[in-house]
Structure 1
Amino acid sequence: MITKLQGLGLGDQFAHFHAKVPEVEKQAELDRFLGGKARILLATTALGAGFDFSHVDVVIHWRGSYSFCDFMQESGRTGRSTGRPGWSFCAVTDYDRQPRDSNSVEEVEFKKYLNERICRRAAISRYFNGFDQSCEPGMTSCDLCTMKQNQASRVQQAVRQRQQESARQIEWFAEAVRFWQERGCLRCFYHYWIMYSLKPDIDKDPSPDQFIGHGTEACPNPKLDRYVKQLSKLRKHLEPRAETCCFTCFLPTKVCKGPLAGDTCFAPSLVGFNWSLSKEFRQQKWAVSSEYYPLDILPAEMSHESFTRWKWDTGLETELIRAAELLWLLSKHLSNSRDIRISKLFSFTI
């Protein structure tokens, strides 16, 4: 070690202390260290006890210690100044941590400490006091507790970000629902926009004006009445879990609490209309599953066929029933539309 440090040009920055150093030279080396001329003191266990250094901040145990007691004595050379914490590190390899038959009882106990996975302070207390005392608030945490605290902090931050993101998405979805309820007509959208996308030979270019200007439930098309009758079938087909969605309109409870809150749904039939309309278009002979919805609004890992079957046969996923989720995807798709006329209609992104 000394040779390596000298090779790095650090010879004048360290002092050394071990059994083979003459007594006079030992004192001279200690004086250099205490006087600040040497910032590093290389020493064996001979320096472990009986020396009080107030300015030592870090002790590094190269390849560990011979025993737990030696380790604690050596670690005690740091942190001896009031209000000035000290740190003790073990620079060991995986090989050094493995107990062996030739190890003494003290060495085995020390290697148990090295392999501790819960709390270093508890391992020390267990050995010297006979009971576990872990790091507590107000104490300087050991490396294991510090790592857990950092992990917990990252998890808490991720949860907060997820909650904020979820809140923004719920707000956006609520605005999208309000749009389809008051300004946009799902029936006209399916009729003009999707039919045109599936039949590009139609001469007339569909305009947003054809499905904008009246809400879905206010559509003047007389065929809309039959969709109302189909809503009862929808409620029989889907059995929403308690507190996941409004049983009247099937929107998530974060968007509509409806009767649960003694209120009325602000979009009582919108999800039902979307379910009936999309199901009808899906069943058209020309509306094969691969053409049901544009590729960019479907989960990448799912084929169109499996997606549409999965949507209608599995009931619920978390808070959004399938029709409400399709309404979400449809609104997201239109908000990203290349047609500036349409994307501007969905400019209420939170």
Structure 2
Amino acid sequence: MDLTADQQDFRDLLRSFVDREIVPVAREWEQSGRYPTEIVAGLGRMGLFGITVPEEYGGLDLDPVSFALVFEEIARGWMGIAGILGSHSLACRMIATHGTDEQKQRYLPDLATGQRRTGIGLTEPDAGTDLQGIRTTARRDGDHYVVSGTKTWITNARHADPLPVLVKTDPSATPAHRGMSVLLVEADTPGFTVTRDIAKLGYKGTESCEVVLDEATVPVSALLGGVEGRGMQQVLSALEWGRVNIASRSVGIAQRALDEALAYARQRQAFGRPIAEFQAVQLTLATIGTRLQAARLMAWWAADAVRRGRADGETGMAKIFCSEVALDAAIDAMKVHGGYGYSTEFEVERLYRDAILMSIGEGTNDVLRTVVARSLVDGTTVVGR
């Protein structure tokens, strides 16, 4: 598929921002553990915190393909920055799609500008991809819920206000998803604590935290959509966009891997000539480039499928394929660099560390293969038409 003229112009704008504001500082800031405050401010100035917020609330309300372009370009510069924007955007999408009028009016205008930021509280120490296995409960007590549980690996946790948190309002429900709801938990909620930052191999620049809700008192008005038992459906509708997000981040990583491998191969001399002239290196570069372009087209295809409606199979396929392309591209780029690929002085080792997460986040690839298989068997996804 081809991009429209508006999408091409938007990509050019994003690319310029990334090359100017992110690429020059990413390696240094990532290694020092510095929070990218200035970059986050730049995202706000560009309106990117509002990419999934309707225009009536001050957002950009991007189509899914333009949404994909945002994450490809930002991840090309620094995948961790894409994480800051990714969790925020999915939460905004949930509120915009499922929130009450009061919830939309209260939160979306400030979320669109970045004055407020957010994330999604799903994963728990004993429940990741299997969200029906969560243990966090919300017990109704008059005009409040009393919430108890622990969430982990929560991106933006220290900046989220509110944080949508998946809970069980009816732990005895069968099947479990019928008793699950989402609560919009504000940062100053009594009993809500961000306890620690989790040390990570990659995905630096944004925090990943453990969050504890210890008898936290959350008003009933914070129930997303105002109706209990809709939480799983609300979350799954956002995670379709999330898989486009991860697929596109993967494409960005693979693109940067190709860029770095090409640049190094052109300037690195061996036996009196650039290593780009050696067939073994050329075969590696050709493989990276070919698979990268296939991944990009698959990410756009999946994004366009989201525009048309439910797309579990398409987004699952894209997330699986693109994430595996990203990791292969990072490894092959390290091989082109030889020993220097293992050095923290070069970009490719960071790309490798970031790429690994892409096959885990938003559902592990093995679990997503079962999702894709079900969509093929029941006919909701048709390949070749």
TM tier, smaller: under 0.3
Return the TM-score normalized by structure 2.
Answer: 0.22
> Which structure exhibits the higher relative contact order, with contacts defined as CA atoms closer than 8 Å and separated by 6 or more residues?
2
Q: Which structure has the greater CA radius of gyration? A: 1
| Larger relative helix fraction | 2
The alignment's TM-score, normalised by the length of structure 1, stands at 0.24
Q: Per residue, is there more strand in 1 or in 2?
A: 2
